[in-house]
Structure 1
Amino acid sequence: MNETTEFPLEPAPFNGESREVDPGACFDWLQQGWTMFLVNPGVWIGSTMLLLIMLMAISIVPFFGQIAAHLLVPLFGAGMVQICRHMGDERQAEIADLFAGFRHNAGQLVMVGVFFAAGVFGLAFIAFLLVSGGVFGGVVTGKIAGFGIALGGVMLAGLVVAILSVPVIMATWFAPALVFFHDMKPAAAMRASFDAGAKNWLAMLIFGVFLVVALFFAMLPLGLGLLLLLPIFSGAVYASYRDIFVGT
């Protein structure tokens, strides 16, 4: 005898499944980020100012402050996408939402931060070894040839860091949203984030290039452009998460 199907059916549990989108979708994400900023500029600017002040204050402490700041990035990232969700659902967003990651799944988000910090400082250490090796070799060799060796060391360091940073960025790009919204474990969230980035590598590449260029110009007027860039970027990340992941 067949079992009776009960309605309404339970929704399928979220498993981090992602889909491939058109590369041009990245421009739609940015447009949505801008639109989301216009919904409530006051909350966005207030949240961004508070975030930057806190991160700068923490980073003042030599070495350990830098580590702490990187560990907290996923927690604040969860807060920024929470602001996005409230605005997207036409609910009242508040500056206090910036700390939502400290109230839900904080430990799991910190573990994502551990991976992020390990990747960043690991890459910095590799770059230091390559650059210092090139400079030392340049000093030993002589003036003209030494300059070429030193420059080669710097270029090699930049190339290696750029290549190795890609998997770190891909694994942590969507992880805060997946951990915060769907209670995924850090390892599973980072694997799902990496898979989503790999499926949509061209869209993510275009988005990343735009971000780097925009960051350069945002830093020119004493970094004041970050008050606009970070909210738009957060809204675009949220839009890409909703676009790429199935069941969100």
Structure 2
Amino acid sequence: MHMRVVAGRQGSQWIAESWAVFQLRPASWILLGVIDLLVTAVLYELPYASDLTAVFTVLWTGGMICAVDHCRATGNVGLADVVRGIRANFQPLFAAAVFGLLIAIVCDLTGDRAASALQLLAFGGAGNSHSLVALIAGAIYLTAAVIGTMALWLAPALIVLNGATPADALRASFAATWHNGQAALMYGLIVAGLMLASVLTLGVALLVVAPLIYLSTYAASTDMFPREL
């Protein structure tokens, strides 16, 4: 796989490209977004199963990447395309999902302490052994969250589109995010704005935003890792 370093403005271009593909079959993409949201919500609410949302997200992302590729080629998309993508790449996607699960577990174990660390930093309460533990936990949480996000962002797309092994996909995703920091930052800010819009619309906008995130991930991956013909 050859990685490209792209201009910072490409972060917005990925969103524009995803919107163009979304408009080809808006109803189908919204339906897939609804399925994604429902499964995620159910897993999150089940006792002791919330961390499994990380596994589902990686698998579902791989399937959605396959669906985007099919839609760009044929103009059609459906749940069968997602399922086909997951089945065809299940083993490498699941291996990447296990990494996502480990990151989720670390974040869960340190999440409460991380919140305490933020309070200590905000109010200047550092000074005893409990505050030191909270600060260490906060550092672990932040490190795991950042590394996990960078490594997992493009990994499913690289597995599906470029035939990368799980380890190579995770490393390449991290490297691409690092070397394309300006584009990734612009993209992240736009996604954050879209998520805020979803909150302001009481979740209605999320029906569009959810599939757009997968569509834009496809655009980002093919931009930074052109497929070899």
TM-score after normalising by structure 1: 0.79
| Residues 36 and 232, structure 1, Cα contact 8 Å, conserved in 2 | no
Distance in 1 (CA, whole Å) between partners of 2:28 and 2:118 is 47
- The answer to whether the Cα contact below 8 Å between 1:23 and 1:202 also exists between their aligned partners in 2 is yes
Structure 2 equivalent of residue 96 of structure 1: 80
Contact 2:64 2:85 in 1 (8 A): no
Report if the CA contact (8 A) 1:23-1:200 is conserved: yes
Match of 1:118, as an amino acid?
A: L
| 1:150-161 to 2 correspondences below 5 Å | 161=141
Alignment of structure 1 residues 161-240 onto 2, 5 Å: 161-240=141-220
Matched, 1:118 2:94: no
Pairing 1:28–2:13 present: yes
Larger of the two Rg values belongs to structure: 1
How does the TM-score come out when normalised to structure 2? 0.85
Kindly state the Cα deviation for residue 164 of structure 1 after the two structures are TM-superposed.
Answer: 4.1
Query: Which whole-Å CA distance do the structure 2 matches of 1:68 and 1:110 have between them?
Result: 12
| Residues 1:149 and 1:28: Cα distance change in structure 2 (over 3 Å) | same
Superposed CA deviations along residues 18-54 of structure 1, whole A, max 9, x for unmatched, are: 1101110111111111111111001101111112112
Aligned CA distance change for structure 1 residues 90 and 102 (closer, same or farther; 3 Å): closer
Identity of aligned residues (%): 27
The unaligned stretches of length 5 or more in structure 2 are none
| Alpha-carbon shift at residue 235 of structure 1 (Å) | 1.6
Name the CA shift for 1:163/1:35 in 2 (closer, same or farther; >3 Å): same
Deviation readout 1:158-190 (Å, 9 max, x if unpaired): 776445422211111111011122332211110
SS of the aligned residue for 1:129 comes to helix
Q: How many residues align?
A: 220
Q: Which deviates more, 174-183 or 118-127? A: 118-127
Match for 2:69: what amino acid? R
CA distance in 2 between counterparts of 1:232 and 1:60 reads: 24
